[in-house]
Amino acid sequence: MVRGRGARSNASGRFESQVREAFDDGWTSQDPEPAQIRTILTAETARTIIARNDSPDVGFSRSINPYRGCEHGCIYCYARPAHAYMGLSPGLDFESQLFFKPEAARLLEKELSSPRYRPETIHIGGNTDPYQPVERDTRITRGVLEVMERFGHSCSIITKSALILRDLDVLARLAARNLVRVAISVTSLDRRLARSMEPRAATPERRIGAIEALSCAGVPVSVMFAPAIPALNDHELEAVLERAARAGASGAGYVVLRLPREIKDLFREWLATDHPDRAARVMSLVRQMRGGADYDFEWRTRMRGEGPIAELLARRFAAARKRFGLEGRFGGLDLTQFKVPPKPGDQGDLFDGA
């Protein structure tokens, strides 16, 4: 067991020619001290910063991810398998071997300045959290938002970190121009369960506080109950939506637990250590929502599941969203304000002060 981390192991990625796996040889203490793993941050050289996708169930076609890997360590994170492409483990490596893009703001400015560029809302944090702990020092997400403001470009953000409030000044100005909306992920109101599932993320109360602060500043904010895990946190759906509504959220969404590739083994391992009393029940219900498998990749069902369990969850969500006034539709963000700002030395400067 590793203190302050979500994964319980660090098995090799699926593309590695050699496999690493820890095992007990009997020589270690029966009650060893929990190990610690230091976070390693590596700069990544990128040529572009805007990623594009055509997934019909994602909800955005352009995104910016300032980081690969996430120190929050959420055991259920669907981005974990991508670390295998880096020659690293989707387990502990994912939450301790992080990559960041120091040139993100400059690259964004370059792409937005292209004569061929046409504006479309850009989602910040579609893969890993743009406000994970290392953002306090790197300030990459802050730099991206400042570029968005200068260019009058619309964006959306999803996070489970109260660190977003550091940038409330920029967000409030963007919101006043209908250029931003934010979603805060609240998976549980139970501090112990949240700490177990998301060991380095903000506490549930701080996330609710972030919703309130954003709403008071005029920033459109919704709550995401994601993932919904049967027999573990699904009973909290109504309570989470009610607390978020009282804090000022005007919209809500949810996603059922997704266990693609290596995540299914990591999640089962975590259940066995942290929740052994309900591990079998949880996985049984998950499979009932996935046609008997741990996961299905079908676009039509991967976000919501299928079968009676999934249908009941959908009905509960719809009823709670209506009951607590979270059916707000933010509408489209404004794309008409986009404009490449003049650079020092541009011809327009000749007429300043004329």
Whether the per-residue pLDDT at 354 is higher than 80: the answer is no
pTM: 0.88
Q: Per-residue pLDDT tens for 143-169?
A: 999 999 999 999 999 999 999 999 999
Q: Are strands 97-100 and 67-68 parallel, antiparallel or unpaired?
A: antiparallel
Residue 336, C-beta contacts closer than 8 angstroms, at least 6 positions apart: none
Residue 65, C-beta contacts closer than 8 angstroms, at least 6 positions apart: 51, 101, 125, 126, 127, 128, 130
Three-state SS at 308: helix
In CATH, which of 3.10.20.30, 3.30.200.20, 3.30.390.50, 3.20.20.70 is domain 40-330? 3.20.20.70
Q: How confident is the model at residue 350 (pLDDT cuts 50, 70, 90)?
A: very low
Calculate the average pLDDT of the chain: 89
Percent of the chain exceeding pLDDT 90 equals: 73
Q: Are strands 122-124 and 62-64 parallel, antiparallel or unpaired?
A: parallel
What is the DSSP track for 108-164? HHHHHTSTT-----EEE-SSS-TTSTTHHHH-HHHHHHHHHHHHT--EEEEES-GGG
Whether the per-residue pLDDT at 24 is higher than 60: the answer is no
Q: How confident is the model at residue 3 (pLDDT cuts 50, 70, 90)?
A: confident
Q: Are strands 62-64 and 51-52 parallel, antiparallel or unpaired?
A: antiparallel
Q: Which is higher by pLDDT, 36 or 305? A: 305
Whether the per-residue pLDDT at 32 is higher than 80: the answer is no
Residue whose tokens read 């060893």: 32
CA distance 208 to 212: 6
**Crossing angle of the two packed helices 168-176 and 140-151, in degrees rounded to 10:** 20
Q: Degrees (nearest 5) of the Cα angle 259, 262, 267?
A: 55
